[in-house]
Amino acid sequence: MLCVAASVRIAMHGYYQIDRDGTRVGEFVRARTTDRDLVIMAFNDAYFLDPRYLYYAQRRGWSIRGDWLEPRAIEGLRPHGATVVVTSDLVPAPEPTEGYLKRLPLVDTLSLGEHHVYLRRIE
């Protein structure tokens, strides 16, 4: 019985918490995009191509680890309708990708404590 109580306490503390940063990122993206935009979300370092941020934004698109984002991925998704890319300095993209991203128009920046989220328009 003690093990069950400990497991419930851990689950309540770790797994069932509201992702406040995630919902803020979702609101940020939703407010600056349309239903027709397809978003490349390279916000974090999840190994499992985390769809939560697209869900929070109520947008369709692709989720990719921030440190795996490459210009060829962005260019490859452009013909499929990609219009926006979201990155952060929490898990920065590789240096060549950062140079590519700086050439894209910056729509807005969201501050999350010490970190920032960048929304750029793909032209």
Domain holding 35, by residue range, is: 20-121
The DSSP secondary structure of 41-105, one letter per residue, reads EE-S--TT---HHHHHHT-EEEE--GGG--HHHHHHHGGGTEEEEEEESSSPPPHHHHHHHHTSP
CATH number, domain at 68? 3.40.190
Q: What is the pTM of this model?
A: 0.83
Count the domains in the chain. 1
Q: Do the domain assignments include residue 2?
A: no
For the chain, the distance separating the N- and C-terminal CA atoms, rounded to the nearest angstrom, is 59
Task: Answer whether 57's CB lies under 8 Å from 39's CB.
Answer: yes
Q: Do the domain assignments include residue 14?
A: no
For the stretch 60-94, pLDDT in tens is 999 998 888 999 999 999 999 999 999 998 888 88
